[in-house]
Amino acid sequence: MHDRCERRRAAVLPGITAVLLAMSSAACSGAAAGHLPLTTVADIPLSGHTTRWDYASLDPIAHRLYIAHLGDSVVMVFDTQQQKVIADIADVGHVHGVLYVPELDRVYASATGTDEVVAIDPKTLKITARVPAGDYPDGMAYAPDVHKLYVSDEHGGTDTVIDVRSNTRVATIPLGGEVGNTQYDPVSKHIFANVQTRKQLVEIDPATDKVISRTDLPGAEGNHGLYIDAASRLAFIACEDNSKLLVLDLASRRVLSSFDVAKDPDVLAFDGALGWLYVAGESGEVSLFKVQGQTVSTLGTAMLGPNAHVVAVDPALHHAYFPLKALKGSPMLRITQAQH
């Protein structure tokens, strides 16, 4: 994700509370104002400066949340059980993407400041490798059968392919436009990526590292965010330029529905146990949807917190984690729990 949508917010939510998040967002969003079926569990102070955060990735077994502190060029490690920061891994220039890969017990982070991807060992919390990527590496996805990491080179119009066994770049796939998020589909075992300037979702075969299909996305404007729910065979596509969520049937390659969402949507996360899709917006709003089979319904849109454009979800606890740039003058992690 990129920094185009930084905004100041005039109001912040209260601190630690157990009341229902119910602030109206009518003044700052095209999405319907309403309530979120979430309660705030805690607001935990974070280390570092009041600068921009980016992607987050959860290791639920080790109870660790890895967060890209973009403005500080740091990968923060947060213990979700003890609810405290346990490490700041520095020298990851303008870190955007962060991905914990359980099959490898390894963390990867994309550093746009140096156009590289770094590998981090969770045991030592040290950087173990640096791999050249393309222009402005951002989102990442892992294809386990071929032991490859796919990295969205947003400005370069490519996906960089990294062999994780040697931590070397083995391919660069031209996609023909500005690249949004990249995701892995465990059913087809293919990689999908948004090409936002072409309003397309492209499909890559990891066996050949070639583009094998392009799906036009009617109604898309800046299709950046992407999440694939393998069980429902649906791709959820967040369009930052018109604040829409497109629901794509991966079998028919047809857009089934379109929803208004939190203004300037960015990161998507999914609670598979509940079938809840989170869409976090640059505006600080969050939209929630219920997914039942291929039926998608709105649960609500409301203000979550200033700059709450990043979300990670723990389906076991039904907790959602939102790093906030500044709350009461300090960086905070807002932890919410689903009310279902």
> What is the full per-residue pLDDT of the chain (340 aa) written as tens digits?
554 443 333 333 333 333 334 333 333 333 334 689 999 999 999 999 999 999 999 999 999 999 999 999 999 999 999 999 999 999 999 999 999 999 999 999 999 999 999 999 999 999 999 999 999 999 999 999 999 999 999 999 999 999 999 999 999 999 999 999 999 999 999 999 999 999 999 999 999 999 999 999 999 999 999 999 999 999 999 999 999 999 999 999 999 999 999 999 999 999 999 999 999 999 999 999 999 999 999 999 999 999 999 999 999 999 999 999 999 899 999 999 999 8
| Distance (Å) of CA 269 to CA 38, 185, 223, 235 | 15, 15, 16, 12
The tokens of 238 are what? 């967040």
Q: Nearest CA to 73 among 57, 50, 56, 96?
A: 96
- CA 42, 45, 47, 53 torsion: positive or negative? positive
Q: How far apart are CA 103 and CA 273, in angstroms?
A: 21
Q: Nearest CA to 209 among 253, 160, 244?
A: 160
The pTM for the full model equals: 0.91
Q: Is 71 helix (H, G, I), strand (E, B) or coil?
A: helix
Q: How far apart are CA 60 and CA 131, in angstroms?
A: 27
Task: Report residue 55 CA to chain centroid gap.
Answer: 5
Please tell me the predicted confidence (pLDDT) of residue 1. 57
Let me know if 11 is exposed, middle or buried by CB neighbors in 10 A (0-12, 13-18, 19+). exposed
What Rg, from alpha-carbon coordinates, does the chain have? 18
Please tell me the predicted confidence (pLDDT) of residue 23. 35
